[in-house]
Amino acid sequence: MPATTEAGVFDESELLAKAREGDVAAFSELVNRYSRKIYRLAKHITQNDTDAEDVLQETFMKSFEHLGDFQGQSKFYTWIVRIAVNESLMKLRKRKSDRTVPLDEPLDTGEDTVVREIAVWDENPEQQYSREELAKILDEAVEGLKPAFRTVFVLRDIEELSTEETAQALGISVPAVKSRLLRARLQLREKLTRFFRRKGDDVFAYL
């Protein structure tokens, strides 16, 4: 939810027009509207607080610098997400010592779509946990994904970008987005099943 400040009464195009003229309050309002989501996105991709803060600052610095280039054909949010994704990926690539899989490594081994555990979940499994517990479970599950899957999942299912927007932001094809998204979703489903399965059920099945 956007912050309800005085500037909140302006719609986004008005805020952008004012920000282009150097109106600090207008640009600050835009920053306030999206900073939480950008920080979350950066944390999910970089998995590091310091990197996430750098990405957060860089994203808004660059968006201000290039505000004149923003044509308004896409949503402002989609535009800054692209900046944030680029900055986050640069951070990942810089961390050479990180034992994560490079983003361009071939991924289509087929193994990632193997389903090992099938159990019925509770109707509203998330309600069994406190907000903090749930956030921890969900975050840790995402953190366990390979970066290539994680970035696609975060953009598509958390930030709710379209398949095309995700492909553009990551510089990969639409089929690649779809195939990574499928793998990410299935892997998360599997991880969450441990927490969300209906108690008393102990059904294992193998495909």
Partner 1 sequence: MLTCKEFLQELTDYLDSTVDAELRVKLERHINECPNCFVILDTTQKTIKVYKGMQAQEIPQEVHVRLMKAVERKMAAGKTAAGKPGL
Q: Footprint of partner 1 on this chain (CB under 8 A)? A: 20-22, 24, 27-28, 31, 35-37, 39-40, 53, 56-57, 60-61, 64-65, 67-71, 113, 115, 118-121, 125-126, 134-135, 138, 142, 153, 157-158, 160, 163, 178, 181-182, 185-186, 188-189, 192-193, 196, 205, 207
Cβ nearer to partner 1, comparing 67 with 85:
67
Cβ nearer to partner 1, comparing 106 with 110:
110
CB-CB contact of 114 with 191 (8 Å) = no
Give the H/E segment covering residue 56: helix 49-65
Shortest separation between residue 126's beta carbon and partner 1, angstroms: 5
Shortest separation between residue 157's beta carbon and partner 1, angstroms: 5
Secondary structure letter of residue 156 according to DSSP: I
CA gap 79, 73 in Å, rounded: 10
Tokens linked to 182: 């499928």
CB-CB contact of 191 with 205 (8 Å) = no
Cβ nearer to partner 1, comparing 57 with 100:
57
Shortest separation between residue 166's beta carbon and partner 1, angstroms: 12
- 25-39: b or e for each residue (b if 16 or more CB lie within 10 Å)? ebbbbbbebbbebbb
CA gap 7, 198 in Å, rounded: 47
Cβ nearer to partner 1, comparing 28 with 168:
28
Shortest separation between residue 172's beta carbon and partner 1, angstroms: 15
Amino acid identity for residue 31 in this structure: V
Tokens linked to 189: 């489903």
Cβ nearer to partner 1, comparing 93 with 201:
201
Shortest separation between residue 22's beta carbon and partner 1, angstroms: 5
